[in-house]
A and B are shown apart, each in its own frame.
Chain A
């Protein structure tokens, strides 16, 4: 029963997704509404940052807060794992 209900719900979501895919911009075309941002990165990354790899230029310069945030998340993940494993390391019941 639960499985059937879940199946129906997921089929509905899938139908909505198909509807959504039908109106998306065509695969392989640049964004039609505002392609300016990605074009700006490709044209100015070298002059702005001195790096020819524009992905690196974006991660570490244009959006350096993302890199900082990713490092914070990684540190948080490590701390979370360590804290969980150490906190429950005693040989006791529940």
Chain B
């Protein structure tokens, strides 16, 4: 089992980064850090996808005479699309943070909850 894990260390690393992002997103009260966690998580999935598409000794999937092995092109294509999705989500999340800061004067989720409690 340990041999298998050692052979698959890139996957483990990607999943570890995913967990870091997940943890940041759920436990940090700073909204900007939550958005960062979102980005880390998304990037980790892309890393994982990219690692799963690697073929030993393969070169970039641009067809050229004389090259035998290429890496799997499909994950790269999916990531290309995924990056755009991540960009839009991040921009929108940041614009919401800007507006929350405008209304409450803070980017801390707990502080915002406290201020909201005072209002009601």
Contacts and interface: CB of A to CB of B under 8 A. Distances in A.
Do chains A and B make direct contact within the complex (CB under 8 angstroms)? yes
B73 A42 contact: yes
B23 A38 contact: no
Q: Which of A10, A42, A93 has the most C-beta atoms of chain B within 10 angstroms of its own C-beta? A: A42
Contacts of A69: 81
Given A41-B74, A58-B77, A84-B99, A74 B88 contact: yes
A28 B56 CA distance: 4
A55 B98 contact: no
A93 B22 CA distance: 33
Interface size class of B (residues with CB under 8 A): 35 or more
27 contacts: A3-B27, A6-B26, A13-B19, A14-B19, A22-B1, A22-B8, A26-B4, A26-B7, A27-B51, A28-B54, A28-B55, A29-B56, A30-B72, A42-B63, A52-B64, A57-B73, A58-B77, A59-B80, A63-B77, A66-B78, A66-B81, A70-B85, A73-B84, A74-B88, A78-B88, A80-B92, A88-B99
Given A73-B85, A74-B87, A10 B19 contact: yes
Interface in A9-61: 10, 13-14, 17-18, 20-24, 26-31, 37-38, 41-42, 45-46, 52-55, 57-59
Contacts, number: 135
Contacts of A73: 84-85, 88
Given A17-B15, A21-B5, A24-B8, A67 B88 contact: no
A26 B26 CA distance: 32
B102 interface: yes
Contacts of A23: 4
Looking at chain B's contact residues, the main secondary structure is helix
Contacts of B62: 52-54
Contacts of B85: 70, 73
Contacts of B9: 27
